[in-house]
Copies of this chain bind each other. A is one copy, B any other.
Amino acid sequence: MTQEIIPVGYQGVPGAYSHLALQQYFEGKLVRAQNFMIFEDVVAAVMDGTVRYGVLPIENSSTGGITEVYDHVRRYGAFIVGEKIVKVEHCLLGLPGAKMEDITEVYSHPQGFSQCRDFFKKHPAMRQFNYYNTAKAAEMVAEKKELHKAAVAGAQAAEQYGLAILARGINTNQSNYTRFIIISRQQELAPDADKITLIVSLKHQPGSLYRVLSHFARYQINMTNIESRPIPGQPWEYYFHIDITGHLTDEPVQKALVDLPEDTTECKILGNYRADHGKEARS
């Protein structure tokens, strides 16, 4: 019996957090991961059929929504079929056999360093050098094979490039998560779906957002996220990405959705999928 191989796209290099999210979401399935340089290329590859799914970061719990991804998903008309939350846990990665005291040069993305500021205060002998991204830094350290060189990257990059974890979880903020969405060209509706993502554009009149939210409140539907984005070419008008809990077959959800067009100029369901309720997920 042959199992179907699913082609899935992500942005970045092997060992990056996007790659980890992909592996975790599709765990137990036969997947061919294909990496792309930029977010838009992933969305385009999903829409032209090069890959079946795409895995993209949509929100970080410390830095907020990744607005570029919201805009691409909307512009290309992609659908959301799943989500995966990944804990951002930076490690100091060195060559196998290297010890902490050997390390004098560390490579990472500037953001990787700034997220580990306290660690490097305690280790002033480690000089920091900026690199393209965390996973690329790990790759370079593995290739150079110099015992005094190390990288700041996720544990998955150690595995990817055959490095040793010299120190784990060295980031200052220990509750830092990135939420990824899984996108597709087709809508999918699983029976256990419990999260709905909508796009609504408001009528340009006072109180329109309030009235949109009133439809959810009336039917006791919980809104877990709202993100406003500008409508290009219409200065100071906005559309909203809204996440609510529920299934499209729920009666309250259907009633609320029927009411929405009263107060919106555009209303589109981007997807109804299973929220990530794992240990990394919302408390």
Contacts and interface: CB of A to CB of B under 8 A. Distances in A.
Interface of A: 59-65, 67, 173, 175-177, 206-207, 209-211, 213-214, 216-217, 220, 222-230, 232-236, 238, 282-283
Within the oligomer, what is the number of copies of this chain? 2
A209 B223 contact: yes
Contacts of A234: 175
26 contacts: A59-B230, A61-B230, A62-B233, A64-B229, A64-B230, A65-B228, A173-B233, A175-B233, A175-B234, A175-B235, A176-B235, A177-B235, A206-B220, A206-B222, A207-B216, A207-B220, A209-B226, A210-B213, A210-B214, A210-B216, A210-B223, A213-B213, A224-B236, A225-B238, A226-B226, A226-B228
Contacts of A65: 228
Given A207-B217, A225-B238, 19 more contacts: A61-B236, A62-B232, A64-B67, A64-B228, A65-B228, A175-B234, A206-B220, A207-B216, A207-B220, A207-B223, A210-B214, A210-B216, A213-B213, A224-B236, A225-B228, A226-B228, A228-B228, A235-B283, A236-B283
Contacts of A207: 216-217, 220, 222-223
A235 B177 CA distance: 7
A174 to B, nearest CB: 9
The listed residue with most B CB atoms (<10 A of its CB), out of A60, A64, A222, is A64
A222 B206 CA distance: 5
